[in-house]
Structure 1
C-alpha cells in the first residue's frame, strides 16, 4: 500500500457534531477499503486564502493514510459529491 496525505476543508456553517460526523465518514472510507489511517489532525477553523463558495473560513482536517487505489478513488468520489466539503486533495508521500 502507498502512503498518502489527504486534506479536506469542511464548510464553516456546520455545528461541531457535523464536523465530527464528516470526519468519521471519511475515516470509514479508508477503513472499509482495508487501509490504515496513520494520523488525523484537526486544524480547526481557519481563514481561507480566498473565498470559496462565499465562505471566508473553513474547518481543516489532515489525514495521513496507507491506502490502496480503491480507497483513494472512493475518497475522491465522496468528497466531490459532498456539499459539506468545499475543498479536498490527496497526494502521495
Structure 2
C-alpha cells in the first residue's frame, strides 16, 4: 500500500476578528479534516501580516497554515467550509511530495538549475543586427 499524499492549506482570516475567533476557526478546520479521514501533520498560526494587495477592503490578514495527509476527500469539504465563511478572505490548498518539515518546506531536495550557455541580452543582440556597419571610406 502506498503512502497517503500530503496537503497544505494556507488560509487568510479577516484582520479584525478576535484572537479567540481565530482559535475557533483553526479548531473547526482541523476537526473537519479529521472527521473526513485526514491526519493532521501541523497546524500553525502565522499571525497578522500585510497583504501584497488589497483583498476586498482588507490590507492585512491573519495567516494560518494547516498541513495534513489524506486521500484527497478532505480537500472538498474543507474548501467548501472556507468559501462559505465570511471570516476567510482567501485560501489555497496544494498537494506536495515528500515529508513535512518544521519550517513548512518539503525535505525533498531540489537540484539547482544549470545554465548551458551564458545569458545574452536579446534586445542588444537584435539592436546590433539592425545597425548598419560603419565604413572606413570617409
Q: TM-score, normalised by structure 1?
A: 0.95
Distance in structure 2 (CA, Å) of the matches to 1:77 and 1:55? 22
Deviations 1:14-56 (A, max 9, x none): 1111100001110011110121110111110000001111011
Task: Show structure 2 runs of 5+ residues with no match.
Answer: 97-138
CA RMSD after TM alignment? 0.8
Question: Would you say how many aligned residue pairs link Structure 1 and Structure 2?
Answer: 93
Structure 1 segment 1-93 matched on structure 2, within 5 A: 1-93=4-96
Distance in structure 2 (CA, Å) of the matches to 1:80 and 1:29? 14
Distance in structure 2 (CA, Å) of the matches to 1:15 and 1:40? 19
- 3-state SS of the aligned residue for 1:69? coil
Task: Show structure 1 runs of 5+ residues with no match.
Answer: none
- 3-state SS of the aligned residue for 2:74? helix
By relative contact order (CA 8 Å, sep 6+), the higher-ranking structure is 1
From the CA coordinates, give the structure whose radius of gyration is larger. Answer: 2
- 3-state SS of the aligned residue for 1:70? coil
Determine which structure has the larger helix proportion and give its number.
1
Aligned twin of 2:113: none
Q: TM-score, normalised by structure 2?
A: 0.65
Determine which structure has the larger strand proportion and give its number.
1
